[in-house]
């Protein structure tokens, strides 16, 4: 299998190409078929979250493949995420996630956002009065408990700025292994990659193609003339160029395609080579952040009054 791996600070290895399972609409059968196809193409790293609603379909497909002897559980790297309303009790939340997945453990459990919500907020877009003050020390203690109890092998965060990584690193007994953030040729995360690198935290890139086809996403990356001309030069696709750029920065890439041809295309990004000049050209592209997080900002109960506060200026 051509899936390369990275060794994380918690001692385990993770395949560098992950298979995203967020889709809208979230159709169970479509996701199951996509996961079976992804396994066949060679994906072994799967990314889900309670709030995506994809845990049951992903778990069902993986368990079927394990039962049929197509793959062993230990060959799969499985990530899910703690939603804001579960910061009160990460252990119970992870137990529910494992039930949804029909699994005994996760490989990686991430704090989805640096946002704590009222316990009943089981929906993706919180309303104005749904927020609580983020008590990261208590949340993280709950995440550490998940590891101690053997419910997950490693823990990490998602959508954390450099400042929040520093804040967490000040008190964490178990440091985060991963920070999963938006990263693609038009949102390169230079500062955050340096901060995470200093703390030996692996940066994992979500929306590595810029999310073409997603309601909030954009075709700006895959349609960019520079990306297209680099692709032409290497007889590759624009998606392969975008993914290889992320891999060349030492990041893993979490890419979603439920189309088997594009799944293969994306996996093929390992096999293309970018020249030094290509990387320099990409460094010059205009910046464009897609997931800005406006839905987590308000002037009443959110601790973040502006998106600048949410990202600590990294926006
Ligand atoms: N931690 C977080 O807060 C967070 C946020 C967002 C996403 N994520 C994770 O990251 C995963 C990926 O992010 P994403 O879905 O936002 O963005 P993405 O992977 O950059 O883009 C996905 C979109 O690109 C299309 N696509 C895939 N391969 C393609 C190719 N080779 N050529 C052209 N189009 C292609 C897909 O359509 P088809 O399916 O039709 O191919 C889909 O519409 C998610 O599924 C989720 O697991 C995490």
Percent of the chain's residues with pLDDT above 90? 96
Q: Tell me if the pTM is above 0.85.
A: yes
The residue whose C-alpha atom lies closest to atom 48 belonging to ligand 1 is 206
To the nearest 5 percent, what fractions of the chain are helix, strand and coil? 40, 15, 45
- Cis link prior to 92 (omega < 30° from 0)? no
Check residues 119 and 24 and name the one with the higher pLDDT: 119
Q: Which atom of ligand 1 is nearest to the CA of 221?
A: 20
Count of residues making up the chain: 315
Q: Does residue 315 sit within a domain?
A: no
pLDDT, position 115: 98
Q: What separation in Å is there between the alpha carbon of 133 and the centre of ligand 1?
A: 31
Region 96-106: mean pLDDT is 98
> What H or E segment, with its residue span, contains residue 17?
strand 17-20
pLDDT at 118: 97
Asked if residue 2 belongs to a domain, the reply is no
**pLDDT value at position 106?**
98
Integer Rg of the chain from CA: 19
Pairing of strands 77-82, 106-111: parallel
Q: What is the pLDDT of residue 150?
A: 98
| Position 7 in a domain | no
Please check if 224 is assigned to a binding site.
no
**What pLDDT shows up at residue 1?**
43
What atom of ligand 1 comes closest to residue 266's alpha carbon?
Answer: 31
Which residue has the CA at smallest separation from atom 16 of ligand 1?
Answer: 207
Confidence (pLDDT) at 215? 80
Domain membership flag for residue 22: yes
Which protein residue's CA is at the shortest distance from atom 22 of ligand 1?
211
**What is the structure's pLDDT at 193?**
98
CATH code, domain with 184: 3.20.20.100
Residue whose Cα lies nearest atom 13 of ligand 1: it is: 207
**Of all atoms in ligand 1, which is nearest to the CA of residue 237?**
31
Ligand 1 mutation target, pool 22, 210, 290, 311, most atoms within 8 A of CB: 22
Q: Is residue 232 part of a domain?
A: yes
For atom 21 of ligand 1, the residue with the nearest CA is 211
Selection from 108, 118, 115, 123 nearest residue 139 by Cα? 115
Q: Cα of 149 to ligand 1 centre, how many Å? A: 32
Q: Is the separation of the CB atoms in 145 and 91 below 8 Å? A: yes
- 25 — pLDDT class (breaks 50, 70, 90): confident
Which residues share a beta bridge with 182? Answer: 206
3-state secondary structure of 170: helix
Assigned domain for 4 exists: no
User: Tell me, what's the pLDDT at 26?
Assistant: 86
**Structural domain range at position 31:** 12-310
Write out the DSSP string of 110-148: EE-SS-EE-TT--SSS--TT-EE---HHHHHHHHHHHHH
Kindly give the pairing relationship between strand 13-15 and strand 5-7. Answer: antiparallel
Phi-psi region of 99 (alpha: psi -120 to 50; beta: other; left: phi over 0): alpha
Look at residue 75 in the predicted model and tell me its pLDDT.
97
Q: Is 38 a residue whose pLDDT tops 50?
A: yes
Q: Ligand 1 pocket: which residues have CB below 6 Å?
A: 20-22, 47, 112, 158-159, 180, 206-214, 217, 222, 237, 239, 254-259, 262, 265-266, 291
The set of catalytic residues is 52
Confidence (pLDDT) at 2: 52
Residue 38: which of 4, 79, 71, 68 has the closest Cα? Answer: 71
Arithmetic mean of pLDDT, 48-75: 97
Percent of the chain with pLDDT over 70: 99
State which ligand 1 atom lies nearest to the alpha carbon of 240.
31
pLDDT at position 216 = 80
Residue 303 lies in a domain: yes
217 CA from centroid of ligand 1 (Å) = 9
What is the total count of domains within the chain?
1
Is there a domain that residue 1 lies in? no
Q: What's the gap in Å between 130 CA and the centre of ligand 1?
A: 28
Interval between CA 213 and ligand 1 midpoint (Å): 8
- Say whether pLDDT at 214 is over 90: no
Question: Rounded mean pLDDT of 258-281?
Answer: 96
């Amino acid at each position: 299998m051509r899936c390369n791996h990275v060794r994380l600070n918690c001692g385990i290895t993770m395949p560098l190409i992950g298979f995203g399972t967020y889709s809208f609409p979230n159709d169970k059968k479509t996701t199951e078929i996509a996961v079976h196809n992804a396994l066949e193409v060679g994906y072994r790293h799967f990314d889900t979250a309670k709030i995506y609603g994809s845990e049951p379909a992903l778990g069902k497909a993986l368990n079927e493949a394990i039962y049929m002897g197509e793959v062993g559980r230990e060959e799969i790297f499985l990530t899910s995420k703690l939603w804001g309303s579960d910061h009160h009790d990460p252990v119970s939340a992870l137990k529910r996630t494992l039930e949804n997945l029909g699994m005994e453990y996760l490989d990686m459990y991430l704090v989805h956002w640096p946002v704590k919500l009222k316990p009943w907020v089981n929906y993706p877009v919180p309303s104005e009065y749904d927020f609580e003050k983020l008590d990261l020390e208590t949340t993280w203690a709950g995440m550490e408990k998940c590891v101690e109890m053997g419910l997950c092998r490693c823990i990490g965060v998602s959508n954390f700025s450099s400042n929040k990584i520093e804040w967490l690193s000040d008190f964490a007994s178990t440091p985060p292994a991963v920070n999963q953030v938006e990263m693609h040729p038009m949102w390169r995360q230079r500062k955050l990659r340096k901060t995470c690198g200093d703390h030996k935290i692996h940066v994992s890139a979500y929306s590595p193609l810029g999310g073409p086809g997603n309601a909030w996403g954009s075709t700006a990356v895959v349609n960019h003339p520079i990306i297209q001309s680099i692709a032409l030069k290497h007889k590759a696709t624009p998606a392969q160029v975008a993914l290889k750029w992320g891999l060349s920065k030492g990041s893993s890439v979490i890419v979603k395609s439920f189309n088997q041809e594009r799944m293969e295309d994306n996996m093929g990004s390992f096999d293309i080579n970018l020249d030094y000049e290509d990387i320099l050209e990409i460094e010059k592209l205009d910046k464009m952040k897609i997931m800005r997080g406006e839905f987590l900002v308000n002037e009443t109960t959110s601790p973040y009054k502006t998106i600048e506060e949410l990202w600590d200026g990294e926006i």
